[in-house]
Each structure stands twice: as C-alpha cells, then as structure tokens.
A and B are shown apart, each in its own frame.
Chain A
Amino acid sequence: MNLEALASCLSSSACAVTQISTALIIGMLLFMVASGLSLIFGVLGVINFAHGAFYMAGAYIAFFTYQATSSFFLAFLAGALGAGLIGIIFERFIISKVYGKDILMQLLVCYAIILIFDDLVKIIAGPEYKMMGMPDVFALPPLEFAGGFVPAYYVFMIVASLSIGAMLWLAIEKTRIGKIIRALAINPQMVGALGINTTLLYAAVFGVGSMLAGIAGSLAAPTRTLTPGMGLSILIESFIVTVIGGMGSIVGALIAALLIGFTRAFGAIGFPLFVDGIMFGMMAVVLIIKPSGLLGREIAR
C-alpha cells in the first residue's frame, strides 16, 4: 500500500492528468469489449467466455495488416472486420450448437476455443511478444491538458470508442433493426414467427459483439505488447465490468468500465498488488446488493 504516492500524484496536475488519461483509455478499451459481451449475452443468452480471443484476434490482425500496408486505418478496419468474421464463423459452427444448453457446456466450448486460438496464434505469429509501435499517422507531439501531457493517440482512442459506443446505443435504441434485436432478446420465437430470419440475426449480433472486441484489440495494438495470452486478462476484467454495469446495458458497461479504468490507473500507484482485490470486491458488493448490475435488467430466462 502506497497511499502517499497516490496522494502526491493527485495533487500534482501533471501526474493526475497522465493517470486520468490512462484510466480513460483502459476504460474505453474495456467499454468496447464489455459492450460486445453484454450485447451477446443480452440477445443470445450466451455468456461468451471466449470473448478475449476476439480481442486478441483483432490486435494480431491489425498488427499484421499494419506491417503489410503501413496504414493504421486499414489495420484498424481489418482488425475489426476480421474479428467480426471469425465471430460469425464461431457462432454458426460452434456456439449455436450449445444454445439453451447447460452453462457449463457453453463454458467448456469457449474454453476449448481459447486453447485453440492461443496455440494457433503461437503457430502463426510465434510466441514472442510483438510490438506494433505508434503508427506514423499518430506520431504527433503530445497534447497539453491542464498542466499535463496526453499522447495524441489516447485522445483518438477515447473519441473513437465513445463515438462507436454512441453509434451502437443509437442503433439499438432508435433504429428499426435495433428494435427487432431488442425483441429478439425478449421473445425469439415471436420474432421468428413474424417471418424474420432469426438465424441470420443471431449470427449478425454475435458478429457485432465480436467485432467490438476486435475494435478494442485494434485500438489497443499500438499501445500494448501483443502476446498469445493477451485475451485472458482482458476477459476477466470485461466480465467484472459487465457484472457491475449490468448484462445487456451499454451505458452500464461505460460507467463500470470507467470505474475499473480509474481503479486500475490509480491503483497502480496506490495499491499495486491489491488492485484485483478491489475490483473483485466491487463485483462482490454489486452482486450482493443488486445482482443484475447497476443498470442491468433482470435476466428473465
């Protein structure tokens, strides 16, 4: 425990700004991943324990695309769409076989996928750490905020994530297809009876969910080292976020993701060894007081 370090950081605006921006980007990445998880759970009723694998896929695909094309935006697009595509394949051939089954079967299937993906990545990309490095497009001097410095790329990450999150929210709440998807979550048989191809919808929703994870991976690639195990750590945190924010709620995911982001960023200074403990402690408290999460709906299944 190093609370003096924490206090001194908070009083120094340079340190505070750095930590706050770190907190925000951790939060944004988690927000993207958790929204995907929440969407998949809300509509398909599946707890996608393999979600971290799509994050990893997005990161690696972005990395290789950047190596090949030197264009960050192509890399970003490739990572996002690639993860989405893999997600659709995964849904069609594997996950759909365990719809409605025992959660342990779903868990087992997802675990198998994680094992396979991690080794596939090792085979294709090699087990060593990889670094994408900051793309030239973002090789700008850091921006100054309130006495501290924020890397330009961080600003991009935050803006991009919030925009995508807003688009997602708008799509679900305000468009016709969003309404159909919300109906699908509540009464799939009825939606099917109305002549809508639910199979296609399920695949599409899963694809969007995994694409969100892929987006997070692509965004993270310039700032993180890529390793075959990177999916696992983000998985556990995204579950904490989803539980705290509430399954099925995008806004909840944002709030919870920011909460976790700040805990991580400031925790790294004040209580580095116990950050996990605090996060899981918060998760436990939410589960005890309001199991469906801050903004979640009761799971009526």
Chain B
Amino acid sequence: MMKAGFLRDLLFAAVVLIVLIVVPFIFTKPSLRDFLIYVMAYGLLAMSLNLLVGLTGLVSFGHAAFFVSGAYMFGLLMQSGRVSIPVAIFVTVLGTAVLALVIGAICVRLKEIYFSFITLAFQMFIHSIILTWVSLTGGDQGLRGGIPRPPFFGIDLSSGVSLYIFSACVFVVCILIMRQVWQSPFGYTLRLIRDNPNRANYLGVDIVRMKLGVFILAGAMASVAGILLSLFVSGAYPEFGFWTTSGEAIFMIMLGGSQLFVGPIIGAILLRLLEHFVSIYTEYHGLVLGIVILAIVLGLRQGVADYVVEYLQRRKEAKVPAAKEAAFVKERVA
C-alpha cells in the first residue's frame, strides 16, 4: 500500500529538486536564487500551517511563533560556537516541538475563533519577550553579528550557491515528510476531525490528542522554515514573529488553495511574483495586491489551485454521462 504512492512522490520530489538546483545555473541572475530561497522558506511555513488549516481545520493565527523561535534558537545556538549546523538544527526542531507542545496543550482545547485568537495571543507574547529580552535577542535590532556557518560532513555553506543547494534539499525533504503525513492514516483521521469533529469523537477518535499531535508537527516544520530563512539572511529578527508574518502565511494558503497539497506553495509563488512584478511598475503594490485578492475571493470563491482542481473535476464528471450515452446509443444502433 505504501510503496506505489510513496515512490511516485519520491520521484516527483527528485525532479523538483533537480529543477530547483539547475534553474539558477541557467538563469544566472543572483536575484533569482534569492527569490527562490524566500519562496522556499515562506512556502515551507505556509505548508506547515496548512497541516493545521487545510488538513485538520485548525485556523491558527499565531503560527509564526514557531517560525521565529526556529530562527532565534538556531541563530543563538550557532553564535554560541559550540555546536555544528546539523546538531543546531536538531536541537532547534526539538526545542520548538516542546514549545509547540506547551502552547498547543492549552490552545487545542479551545474551539474555532477562540483557538485562532489564543494562538495569536501566544505568538505576540513571544514576540514581546523577544523585544524585551535585549541581552539575549538584541531586541528590535535582531540577532547581531551574523550566523556562523562552520563546515560539517565536508559540506561548506559559506558560498551562496552551496547554501542554496542545501536549502533546496532541506525544503524538498520537509515537503516529502509532510506529503507522507497527508497521505497516511493519521492524515485521513485529521480529515475526519476537519469535516466533523463531533462525529469523529463518536467514532473513537481522540480529538484533543490528535490536534495536539499535528500542532506539534506543524510547529516543528515551521521552525525548519525559520532556520532556512535565518541562514539566508544570516540573522533573526522580531518581524519574523509579528502577526503580519502569520497573516502572510494564511494568505499564501488562501491564494493557492488549502485543499490541494501543493496549494500553499503555489500561493507563496503567486504572492512573491505579484509583489516582485508590481513593485517594478508602481509603488502601490498594496493596492494591486488588494484588488487581485478581492478578484480571487469574490470571483473564484476559493484558492486558485482549489478552483483549478474543481474545474477539472467538473469537466471530468460532465464527460462521463456523455460517454455513457454514446456507448448506449452505439449499442442500440449496432
């Protein structure tokens, strides 16, 4: 049961990775690499949030809490000079998972809009701590002094190219992991919770535990996104944990579509492309972005990828009765 689906996804991931690595060598503008790293970091954040929003129906307004904690934990660990990059990554992900456990244990018991608000409250609380604890975090200036990148296992991340390739690999691996979660029995049980939590409870599903489980997983993934971004900008800033970052992740999900697995990535690409191109022609990219969003929401009523999928499905269903009728007629006539 596992083999066929997993192998197919693995193949697809390999292709994506190869494309990601090769493209900056063909179109050599360094800004393309930068663009892609931003898309990967924020795309990963949005994908991790979609484990909550699209898969489980948990609308978190405070997901960037784990993004920013990933960035700062990793940055601080590396600045201490005592650990290698892989160890720092491991400790950061674990540490953020513990944070997610503590926060999640309180939040997942609340329903709907209250859940959304309390996740926001926790995120902004953490943001406040980062701003206030100047001696540790550098306050509103962010972590100063850059993030050292000592070589590990013979891999040297000091060049832009190698950092990019490393980020692409980490990105693809994380996406594969999330894909496995989406397609696993755990993932389908989360869909039960999304569609009808009360019914799921009456079918033996421990809703609170499952929500906490996916909350921790999503938080851990978000921390990896934070690590990628902090490596790239060689620092960590409080803005990573401001509510607007969580908002951006939500918009990427809504733009791209929450029901299709890759929807959030499509949303991330769309959002970045829009911002990039609009700012070339006009400084009023808020106006343009706002109008585009309105057009999508009021026109399509759902994310772009979701709309395309539904459109294709409707066309398929329309063809079937036509085909049946054709066969019916053929039989009669012959």
Give A contacts to B, CB under 8 Å: 47, 94, 97-98, 101, 103-105, 107-109, 111-116, 118-120, 122-123, 236, 239, 243, 271, 273-278, 280-281, 283-284, 287-288, 291, 299
Contacts and interface: CB of A to CB of B under 8 A. Distances in A.
Contacts of A47: 113
Contact of B294 (A109, A118, A123): A109
Describe A's contact surface by its main secondary structure.
Answer: helix
B113 A299 contact: yes
A276 B289 contact: no
Contact of A116 (B118, B250, B287, B298): B287
Contacts of A115: 286-287, 289-290, 293
B110 A280 contact: no
A44 B112 CA distance: 17
Contacts of B250: 104, 107-108
A112 B293 contact: yes
Interface string B152-191: 0000000000000000000000000000000000000000
Contacts of A113: 290, 294
B243 interface: yes
B148 interface: no
B129 A277 contact: yes
B291 A112 contact: yes
The B interface, classified by DSSP as helix, strand, loop or mixed, is helix
B124 A273 contact: no
Interface of B: 53, 59, 106, 110-114, 116-118, 120-122, 124-125, 127-129, 131-132, 134, 139, 243, 247, 250-251, 253-254, 258, 284, 286-287, 289-291, 293-294, 297-298, 301
A287 B286 CA distance: 33
B254 A243 contact: no
Q: B116, B132, B289: which has the most chain A beta carbons within 10 Å?
A: B132
Nearest to A228: B286
A284 B125 contact: yes
Contacts of B290: 111-116, 119
A104 B254 contact: yes
A55 to B, nearest CB: 17
A94 B298 contact: yes
5 contacts: A112-B291, A274-B129, A283-B121, A287-B117, A287-B118
